[in-house]
Structure 1
Amino acid sequence: MKRRGMSLALCAAMAMGTIGVVPAMADDVTTITYWVNDRHDSEYMTEMVEKYNKENTDNIYIDMQIITDDYENMISLAYTGGTAPDIIGQSVTLKNFVDNDMLIPLNDYIDADEEYQKVNEPYEHAYEGLNYMNGNLYWVYSGMRSGVRIEYNKDLLEENGFTEIPDTLDEYIDMAKAITEAGDGEYYGIGFTSSSPFERQLEMIAQVSGIYYYDYVNGKFDFSGYKEILEKGKRFIDEDIAYPDQQGVDNMRALFAEGEFALWGNASQEAGVFTSQLPIEDFEWGVAEVPSLDGEIKGALQTTPSKGYAIMSSSEHPDEAWKVIQYLQSEEVLKGYLENGFCLPITTYMDEKIDKSKIGRLADFSLLDYESVYPAVPTINLTGDDYRTVLWNAIMGYVDVDDAIEDLNTRYNEAYDADIESGSVKRLVIEDYDPLHPSDGTATYLDK
């Protein structure tokens, strides 16, 4: 939306809680509205937006608004009502927005900008169903969150005769059991949260063991591979190895930081948590790779790309919106963003440009050779509990392992088939799928 005149732009900025200062040299300012749902980096991004609003010579004013609740639905409602922002963050379901023609492909802008290509390596980070569909790139990621790591209490391990995290799941469980038994109720070997507990350790152990819930080659859901993981994982509960209470993530983080248990699983956001939010001061803590079933890496560990910018098709000023994206993904802005530890670098170029001495413990979560981004699994209209809930219920002993797997295979594939028949989704097949390089295959979408 374009706002004419300094006073009108400034009044609108104040009324809407916008960030920054309207450029003083401009009599006619183009306002580019940007909606974002990130809060952890808001101070730095506010500073960068204010800098741009003061210094840019294109008469562009960035109106950045932080939308924390119901982000995707708020954007959809605004689009329908004709009040959508020009730019949105990447935290939306790509297929929904593409199917409704809500986004502008960025290919032409990218192809005409060599500097942007050099810094952001866009086509090297085009991920099927996440930011890329039908040959079109809709946003480019600036960074990456690591896959799950094992955060561990070095002191507790050493007190009990351990110096490192084992390579196999059996040895990992045995170590946790030995620590719990030695603790005799004062401390435990491992802790699990009540918030998606299967995802934070056992599911990732399955991934690096070559086990995944979607069969890309045959285009169907298949949970059969989890049987061995579940049977072994049940030991944590059956043998009273785990901390006896599963609480929310922040509570369990606090308990780990207090030395209540030795092993915790989560991704690179824990670098900031355990140095700033809940600083660990009473013991040394380490970071290790998750084990696998047999000690061999047979599949990629899932990572999460982050911080991308898309242009809404309703924008009256797409060229100006692209100039804003150029700035937000410039070497200058990204260098500060990455050195502040908000995420890991996704590009080789920026990885070489940043001063890694400034990122603190985030360096412990540097991406591994076998970490990758998986193609987006089709979203289906599922009835009943999702797979992570059901599989954790099997770990807890609430449901039989075989029954859980049969239930998931039946419900997921029946829902998938029904959605394909109704035309709401297509079957994703990647015939040349490689579990160690899941994003490298060629995706095909079938109508049956």
Structure 2
Amino acid sequence: MIKKAMLLGMNLMLILALVACGGGGSKTSNEPKESTTNDKNEGKTTAAPVQLQYWTDDRHDQEYIKEMVTRFNETNEDNIQVELTVMSENYTQSVDIAFSSNQAPDILRLKSANTEAFFKKGYLQPIDCYLTDDMKAKFSSVIIDGVNRFDGQIYSLPNTGLTLRLVYNKDLFDKAGITNPPATLQEMVDAAKKITEVGKSEGIYGFALNFKNPKQAFDRSVREILSLSGYQGLGFDLKTGQFDFAPYAQVIEYFKQMHEDGSILPGAESLDIDPLRAQFAAGKIGMYLSFSTEPGVYQDQFPTEMNWAGALAPTLDGQKGTSEIVSAGTWLGMSKTSQHQDAAWKFMQFMYADDVLTAYHEKGFGISVVPSIAETAKTPDVKGMEGFLIGEKDSLWPVAPNVTPEGANYADAFFKYMLDGGDVQKTVEDLNQRYNDALAKAVEKGEVKVTPNPSFDPANPQGK
């Protein structure tokens, strides 16, 4: 009886382990089923391949990812076939629709902008049970709570992160008699004015951003200016655990000054990022701020012969913090509803292999944040990439709570002030009130956890 009880207990533990990793329960087996057709040459039945769907909204790396998918499909020994779908827009909405209609992909491209929302909606499957000790050691130093780990479980491993830089036309700087990229916001305002003065007759202006979407524009510019200046870049005060948009307003005053000076490219209010890049490639914009994807853009999407470079963003009054590496911590995620989770993990494991991650970095598709890759990979052979590489002034920051206030978001409110003027102090007070009210409600509902850190050091944001 004792032996039977022990055997029953062991079987139960095995079943529970399988269920935890998606190999049991109501999910179908990942083992390929035999088809009804015989192999004409061998006279044997052939197994139908396991079909996986992988969705991404990345376009800059799609040719490389297609190549890796093809390699996996041709070389894996588990009869798994992955189909890649690249979406140019409405990615998040498409994912929502797919899950609501039971047509979700097996593997998802995750980013800092969508991972938390996908987790809260129950789209993602934790992958802890698949991680080997070697993989845990490889990624442990770059796994961050609220980015790729939620409630103690890991949902995605890192690959690359995006640095943010000032992108500037060196030829226009020389033409305007400017020796170096601006180190402060006042220097940026002055440089934009000089470039406009010498180039306006040719349709050249000192500064631009993709203001068609103010939040996208400010999140690729003000965010980085603030982090280098010693403040969290999305308006959250990590020391108090509350929102405080007063530092944000200080940066906006300089943007407003460039607008009043006429130094911003006319029509920027309706400018999207690709049309902006096209204007920059044509030599019509002196500078803007953006991500480390830009070198690849000017190599492939908008080839240009002009002399350009990337530099650390200017600051309010000196570098008191570090430049935040954004969109780090996530890359591939597994669907909670996938009927082939073990197969999905085999593909994910293939994509997280050293050779795949190293080539991704060296080809310039993204800058690796995985220490073992970053230490050994060669510098990407892409013009301009040297200005975006991770250095001593770059680091990962703690995650700010994501809340949705009633009324206009901070970007729309500040953009309105930048164009129309008004009382900036009242704008700050209104934003603080609405965002902190939304934060309090989210905390009360258990949607957000906030822990004030009075000793937070912006020069050492991870506290290591």
Partner of 1:138: 155
Partner of 1:192: 209
| Alpha-carbon distance in structure 2 between the residues aligned to 1:314 and 1:84 | 7
**CA deviation string 1:81-111 (max 9, x = no partner):** 444333222147334443454433222322x
C-alpha change, 1:199 and 1:396, in structure 2 (3 Å) is farther
SS, match of residue 328 in structure 2:
strand
Partner of 2:402: 379
Is residue 74 of structure 2 the alignment partner of residue 51 of structure 1?
Answer: no
SS, match of residue 429 in structure 1:
coil
How far residue 126 of structure 1 moved from its aligned partner, in angstroms, is 1.3
C-alpha change, 1:265 and 1:300, in structure 2 (3 Å) is closer
**Aligned partner of 2:183 among 154, 167, 172:** 167
RMSD (Å), alpha carbons = 2.8
C-alpha change, 1:216 and 1:245, in structure 2 (3 Å) is same
SS, match of residue 88 in structure 1:
strand
Is residue 24 of structure 2 the alignment partner of residue 4 of structure 1?
Answer: no
**Aligned partner of 2:169 among 150, 153, 171:** 153
Is residue 302 of structure 2 the alignment partner of residue 278 of structure 1?
Answer: yes
Partner of 2:10: none
The answer as to whether partners of 1:34 and 1:63 remain within 8 angstroms in 2 is yes
Partner of 1:406: 429
Partner of 2:81: 61
Between 396-405 and 129-138, the greater mean CA deviation after superposition: 396-405
Partner of 1:231: 253
Is residue 291 of structure 2 the alignment partner of residue 267 of structure 1?
Answer: yes
Is residue 105 of structure 2 the alignment partner of residue 85 of structure 1?
Answer: yes
| Alpha-carbon distance in structure 2 between the residues aligned to 1:100 and 1:193 | 30
| Alpha-carbon distance in structure 2 between the residues aligned to 1:35 and 1:261 | 34
Is residue 59 of structure 2 the alignment partner of residue 39 of structure 1?
Answer: yes
**Aligned partner of 1:249 among 257, 264, 273:** 273
| Alpha-carbon distance in structure 1 between the residues aligned to 2:86 and 2:218 | 31
Partner of 1:210: 230
**CA deviation string 1:404-433 (max 9, x = no partner):** 111211221222223434x16234224253
The answer as to whether partners of 1:340 and 1:358 remain within 8 angstroms in 2 is yes
Partner of 1:126: 143
| Alpha-carbon distance in structure 2 between the residues aligned to 1:67 and 1:366 | 27
Between 66-75 and 292-301, the greater mean CA deviation after superposition: 66-75
The answer as to whether partners of 1:105 and 1:138 remain within 8 angstroms in 2 is yes
C-alpha change, 1:192 and 1:185, in structure 2 (3 Å) is farther
Structure 2: state its 5+ residue gaps: 1-27, 38-43
User: Residue 86 of structure 2 aligns to which amino acid in structure 1?
Assistant: I
**Aligned partner of 1:105 among 111, 116, 126:** 126
Kindly report structure 1 stretches of 4+ aligned residues shifted beyond 6 Å: none
User: Residue 401 of structure 1 aligns to which amino acid in structure 2?
Assistant: V
How far residue 7 of structure 1 moved from its aligned partner, in angstroms, is 7.8
How far residue 132 of structure 1 moved from its aligned partner, in angstroms, is 1.1
Between 77-86 and 246-255, the greater mean CA deviation after superposition: 77-86
C-alpha change, 1:409 and 1:248, in structure 2 (3 Å) is same
Is residue 313 of structure 2 the alignment partner of residue 293 of structure 1?
Answer: no
| Alpha-carbon distance in structure 2 between the residues aligned to 1:262 and 1:274 | 15
How far residue 329 of structure 1 moved from its aligned partner, in angstroms, is 1.0
Partner of 1:176: 192
What aligned pairs does 1:273-422 form with structure 2 within 5 A after superposition?
Answer: 273-281=297-305, 283-305=306-328, 308-356=331-379, 358-421=381-444
**CA deviation string 1:111-141 (max 9, x = no partner):** x242x346xx322111221211222211002
Q: How many residue pairs align between the two structures?
A: 419
The answer as to whether partners of 1:234 and 1:397 remain within 8 angstroms in 2 is no
How far residue 209 of structure 1 moved from its aligned partner, in angstroms, is 0.8
| Alpha-carbon distance in structure 2 between the residues aligned to 1:67 and 1:190 | 30
C-alpha change, 1:307 and 1:6, in structure 2 (3 Å) is farther
The answer as to whether partners of 1:140 and 1:309 remain within 8 angstroms in 2 is yes
The answer as to whether partners of 2:156 and 2:329 remain within 8 angstroms in 1 is no
| Alpha-carbon distance in structure 1 between the residues aligned to 2:396 and 2:347 | 27
| Alpha-carbon distance in structure 1 between the residues aligned to 2:86 and 2:299 | 25
How far residue 25 of structure 1 moved from its aligned partner, in angstroms, is 11
| Alpha-carbon distance in structure 2 between the residues aligned to 1:100 and 1:274 | 37
The answer as to whether partners of 1:300 and 1:438 remain within 8 angstroms in 2 is no
Larger Rg: 2
| Alpha-carbon distance in structure 1 between the residues aligned to 2:347 and 2:393 | 34
C-alpha change, 1:288 and 1:219, in structure 2 (3 Å) is same
**CA deviation string 1:162-212 (max 9, x = no partner):** 221132221222222222223353333222332333333334222211123
The answer as to whether partners of 2:142 and 2:329 remain within 8 angstroms in 1 is no
C-alpha change, 1:328 and 1:162, in structure 2 (3 Å) is same
| Alpha-carbon distance in structure 2 between the residues aligned to 1:405 and 1:143 | 34
Partner of 2:49: 29
The answer as to whether partners of 1:303 and 1:371 remain within 8 angstroms in 2 is no
| Alpha-carbon distance in structure 1 between the residues aligned to 2:199 and 2:100 | 58
Between 402-411 and 368-377, the greater mean CA deviation after superposition: 368-377
User: Residue 4 of structure 1 aligns to which amino acid in structure 2?
Assistant: K
| Alpha-carbon distance in structure 1 between the residues aligned to 2:108 and 2:376 | 27
Aligned-residue identity in percent: 29
| Alpha-carbon distance in structure 1 between the residues aligned to 2:318 and 2:148 | 33
| Alpha-carbon distance in structure 2 between the residues aligned to 1:364 and 1:300 | 13
Structure 1: state its 5+ residue gaps: 9-23, 442-448
C-alpha change, 1:433 and 1:93, in structure 2 (3 Å) is farther
How far residue 299 of structure 1 moved from its aligned partner, in angstroms, is 4.3
The answer as to whether partners of 1:145 and 1:306 remain within 8 angstroms in 2 is no
| Alpha-carbon distance in structure 2 between the residues aligned to 1:50 and 1:338 | 19
**CA deviation string 1:366-391 (max 9, x = no partner):** 01323233333333232222101212
How far residue 5 of structure 1 moved from its aligned partner, in angstroms, is 3.9
Partner of 1:18: none
| Alpha-carbon distance in structure 2 between the residues aligned to 1:183 and 1:350 | 43
C-alpha change, 1:25 and 1:36, in structure 2 (3 Å) is farther
